[in-house]
């Protein structure tokens, strides 16, 4: 029986008959799915039946679908009145004068009670026990960097709703007791100490209620690193930041798949460019550094740390981050943010090749000038896009990367690896500015035409020798494109952390080891269950086996903690 699949197809048919705009249709789909969620069993059956029939539910409950809820207020649409109260995310407005712990605790427990009735209707939620949220998780945001939309104080809370939906769907309900929590920091965002103090008080309150794990979502770069570091030092509750860490796990997956697919490839001979310079880019560089330090040690590669800081280059809107750059600094404003400093290029030999007098070194120039100095005979260029800006991986940039690689004959058979990871789709790096502007209001057919053109442009510019991954789902009838999305990782992490906490006293576990294990499990599923795609150049699995993948990744992740 496919009752929920039939419901979905009929719903889409009915909406299509109304000649709605794409945005109007997407909003109504999200509203109907939210109402369906009042029956969690049917909601999960809907997702399962879609996956069983070659369809994907995640673009509707997560990205890009969640964007219709995030931007509703900004676009003058009253979505709050259309969504059941129990489904809405919890939005707490920070008071700069006072942290009312009693009131906030009451609000959180009231929300938990409503959710408990939804998921455990035959049981009673005990508000008075010492750890009432002992088998719960929390996704929390300060709404400062929501997807590719930036700061969204009125609507950004919906990102945590999308996130908890992914946990529930991917784990088949095993992780369903989740509080989607947003802190509106408008009144305190300019005072770093006040902001961090308020967030830390919320986190301490959550820990006192016994939560099993906390996931940070869409914090701005600087506060994301500060809050994560504070939490690891001061909380017993396991925490992770999906933007900083979850993104890195999935990008590691793509690198492991590349290494497995192309036997001649050597990481030590390769150039890694992290384009964007924000929290996701820096977090990914930090994580890959830890992985490569172990990899190089296992392969007896000397001076591993120095090598990594030579082959890892960070670029942002002003180009290469290098010592002596003076493009952004004005008055008291520093050139680089504190979390970027470890990845500012300081290698004297490489710096001597740059003759810009502190000026900008573009992405193209970075590859032209420094690529030949860094690349070895068995290396490639890993171009990792985390900028949330279109028109970055242009035809000229891709041609330049391919030309630099082809300067050594042994590198010619190796593909250029491009991760165009930014969400939502119209913010991804491989679209032109014109395509990006046109995309949101386009029909589904027009969107596919834009995507097809962008993919063909990339493959043509690289002479067909390229492996492409994207953050949003993109498809082409001829070329293989893999979707690198965090939903392959964070639900497994949540399930592992929940099971870990149920069997131990609250304590921090090795998040890096957990992430590496999840990446390896994803790779195993790609090679064993989707071998045809792997042989064609896919670097990550699809969501086809997501339920089994999530369960297995969680189990293996826990096993690696022992």
* 357, burial (CB in 10 Å: exposed 0-12, middle 13-18, buried 19+): exposed
Residues 35 and 183 in one domain: yes
Pairwise CA distance, residues 152 & 74, whole Å: 9
Count: domains in the chain: 3
Residue 205 in 3-state DSSP?
A: helix
Pairwise CA distance, residues 292 & 269, whole Å: 12
Residues 334 and 370 in one domain: yes
Q: Of 32-36, 61-65, 435-439, which range is least confident?
A: 61-65
Quickly count: other Cβ atoms within 10 Å of residue 261's Cβ. 18
Query: Which residue, 485, 513, 536, sits at the end of a domain?
Result: 485
> How far is the first Cα of the chain from the last one, in angstroms, to the nearest whole number?
42
388 contacts 424 by C-beta, under 8 angstroms: no
Q: Of 121-135, 336-350, 412-426, which range is least confident?
A: 121-135
Residue 149 phi, psi (nearest 5): -90, -10
Query: Which residue, 237, 260, 287, sits at the end of a domain?
Result: 237
Pairwise CA distance, residues 288 & 278, whole Å: 15
**How confident is the model at residue 507, as a pLDDT?**
54
Whether the pLDDT of residue 266 is over 90: the answer is yes
**How confident is the model at residue 149, as a pLDDT?**
86
Structural domain for 22, as ranges: 3-237
Residues 223 and 84 in one domain: yes
Query: Which residue, 454, 485, 516, sits at the end of a domain?
Result: 485
Residue 240 token pair = 């992770």
User: Omega of the bond prior to 64 within 30 degrees of 0, cis?
Assistant: yes
Q: Of 191, 194, 200, whose CA–CA distance to 101 is shortest?
A: 200
The β-bridge partners of 312 are 272
**How confident is the model at residue 506, as a pLDDT?**
46
Residue with the bigger pLDDT between 355 and 462: it is 462
Residues 315 and 195 in one domain: no
Strands (E), 231-355: 239-241, 271-275, 312-316, 319-320
Q: What is the mean pLDDT of residues 481-498?
A: 95
Residue with the bigger pLDDT between 408 and 1: it is 408
Tell me the three-class secondary structure of 127-163, residue by residue.
CCCCCCCCCCEEEEECCCCECCCECCCCCCCHHHHHH
CA atoms within 13 A on the CB side of 443: 5
Residue with the bigger pLDDT between 285 and 442: it is 285
422 contacts 388 by C-beta, under 8 angstroms: yes
Q: pLDDT tens for residues 61-91?
A: 998 889 989 988 888 899 989 999 999 999 9
492 contacts 137 by C-beta, under 8 angstroms: no
Whether the pLDDT of residue 561 is over 90: the answer is no
Whether the pLDDT of residue 501 is over 70: the answer is no
Write down how long the chain is.
Answer: 562
Residues 398 and 260 in one domain: yes
Pairwise CA distance, residues 457 & 454, whole Å: 5
Q: pLDDT tens for residues 243-261?
A: 999 999 999 999 999 999 9
Q: Of 404, 327, 391, whose CA–CA distance to 365 is shortest?
A: 404
Residues 423 and 532 in one domain: no
Whether the pLDDT of residue 505 is over 60: the answer is no
**How confident is the model at residue 147, as a pLDDT?**
82
Residue 77 phi, psi (nearest 5): -110, 130
Residues 467 and 434 in one domain: yes
Residue with the bigger pLDDT between 332 and 276: it is 276
Quickly count: other Cβ atoms within 10 Å of residue 121's Cβ. 8
Q: pLDDT tens for residues 342-394?
A: 999 999 999 999 989 999 999 999 999 999 999 999 999 999 999 999 999 99
Q: What is the CATH number of the domain that holds 324?
A: 3.40.50.720
Q: Is the dihedral of CA 428, 432, 435, 440 positive or negative?
A: positive
Residues 252 and 230 in one domain: no
Strands (E), 478-549: 481-483
Quickly count: other Cβ atoms within 10 Å of residue 309's Cβ. 18
Residues 126 and 202 in one domain: yes
Residues 361 and 218 in one domain: no
Q: What is the CATH number of the domain that holds 47?
A: 3.40.50.10380
Residues 517 and 372 in one domain: no
41 contacts 4 by C-beta, under 8 angstroms: no
Percent of the chain at pLDDT > 70 equals 98
Percent of the chain at pLDDT > 90 equals 88
Pairwise CA distance, residues 367 & 365, whole Å: 5
Whether the pLDDT of residue 468 is over 70: the answer is yes
| pLDDT, the chain, mean | 95
**How confident is the model at residue 496, as a pLDDT?**
95
**How confident is the model at residue 13, as a pLDDT?**
96
Residues 451 and 503 in one domain: no
CA atoms within 13 A on the CB side of 509: 26
Q: What is the mean pLDDT of residues 17-41?
A: 94
Pairwise CA distance, residues 253 & 521, whole Å: 9
Residue 277 phi, psi (nearest 5): 75, 5
Whether the pLDDT of residue 107 is over 80: the answer is yes
Residues with Cβ within 8 Å of 93's Cβ and at least 6 positions away in sequence, in order, are 184, 186, 187
Whether the pLDDT of residue 502 is over 70: the answer is no
497 contacts 212 by C-beta, under 8 angstroms: yes
Q: Is the dihedral of CA 316, 320, 321, 327 positive or negative?
A: negative
């Amino acid at each position: 029986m496919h009752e929920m699949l039939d419901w979905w197809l009929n719903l889409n048919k009915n909406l299509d008959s109304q000649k709605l705009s794409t945005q109007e249709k997407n909003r109504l789909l999200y509203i109907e799915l939210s109402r369906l969620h009042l029956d969690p069993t049917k909601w999960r059956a809907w997702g399962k039946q879609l996956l069983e029939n070659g369809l994907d539910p995640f673009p509707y409950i997560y990205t890009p679908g969640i964007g219709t809820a995030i931007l509703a207020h900004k676009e003058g649409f009253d979505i709050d009145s259309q969504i059941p109260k129990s489904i809405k995310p919890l939005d707490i407005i920070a008071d700069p004068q006072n942290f009312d712990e009693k009131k906030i605790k009451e609000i959180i427990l009231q929300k938990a009670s409503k959710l408990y009735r939804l998921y455990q209707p035959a049981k009673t939620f005990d508000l008075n026990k010492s750890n009432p949220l002992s088998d719960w998780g929390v996704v929390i945001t300060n709404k400062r960097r929501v997807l590719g939309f930036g700061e969204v104080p009125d609507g950004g809370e919906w990102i945590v709703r999308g996130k908890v939906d992914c946990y529930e769907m991917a784990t088949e309900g095993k992780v369903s007791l989740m509080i989607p929590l947003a802190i509106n920091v408008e009144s305190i965002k300019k005072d770093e100490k006040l902001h961090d103090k308020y967030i830390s008080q919320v986190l301490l309150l959550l820990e006192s209620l016994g939560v099993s794990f906390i996931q940070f979502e869409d914090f701005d770069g600087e506060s994301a690193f500060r809050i994560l570091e504070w939490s690891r030092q001061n909380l017993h509750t396991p925490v992770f930041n999906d933007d900083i860490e979850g993104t890195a796990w999935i990008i590691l997956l793509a690198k492991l798949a590349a290494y497995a697919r192309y036997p001649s490839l050597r990481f030590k001979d390769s150039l890694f460019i992290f384009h964007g310079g924000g929290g996701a880019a820096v977090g990914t560089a930090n994580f890959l550094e830890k992985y490569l330090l172990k990899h190089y040690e296992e392969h007896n590669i000397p001076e591993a740390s120095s090598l990594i800081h030579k082959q890892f280059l960070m670029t942002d809107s002003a180009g290469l981050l290098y010592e002596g750059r003076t493009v952004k600094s004005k008055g008291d404003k520093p050139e680089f943010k504190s979390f970027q400093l470890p990845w500012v290029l300081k290698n004297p030999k490489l710096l001597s090749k740059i003759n810009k007098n502190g000026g900008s070194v573009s992405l193209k120039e970075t590859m032209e000038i420094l690529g030949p100095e860094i690349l070895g005979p068995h290396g490639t260029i890993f171009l990792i896009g985390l900028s949330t800006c279109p028109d970055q991986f242009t035809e000229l940039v891709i041609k330049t990367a391919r030309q630099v690689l082809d300067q050594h004959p042994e590198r010619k058979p190796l593909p250029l690896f491009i991760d165009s990871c930014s969400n939502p789709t119209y913010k991804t790096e491989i679209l032109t500015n014109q395509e990006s502007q046109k995309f949101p209001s386009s029909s589904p057919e027009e969107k596919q035409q834009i995507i097809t053109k962008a993919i063909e442009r990339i493959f043509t510019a690289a002479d067909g020798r390229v492996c492409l991954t994207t953050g949003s789902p993109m498809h082409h009838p001829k070329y293989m494109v893999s979707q690198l999305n965090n939903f392959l990782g964070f639900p497994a992490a949540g399930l592992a952390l929940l099971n870990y906490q149920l069997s131990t006293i609250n304590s921090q576990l090795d998040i890096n080891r957990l992430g590496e294990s999840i990446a390896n499990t994803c790779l195993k599923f790609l090679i064993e269950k989707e071998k045809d795609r792997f042989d064609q150049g896919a670097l990550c699995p699809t969501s086809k086996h997501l339920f089994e993948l999530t369960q297995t990744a969680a189990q293996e992740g826990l096993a690696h903690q022992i």
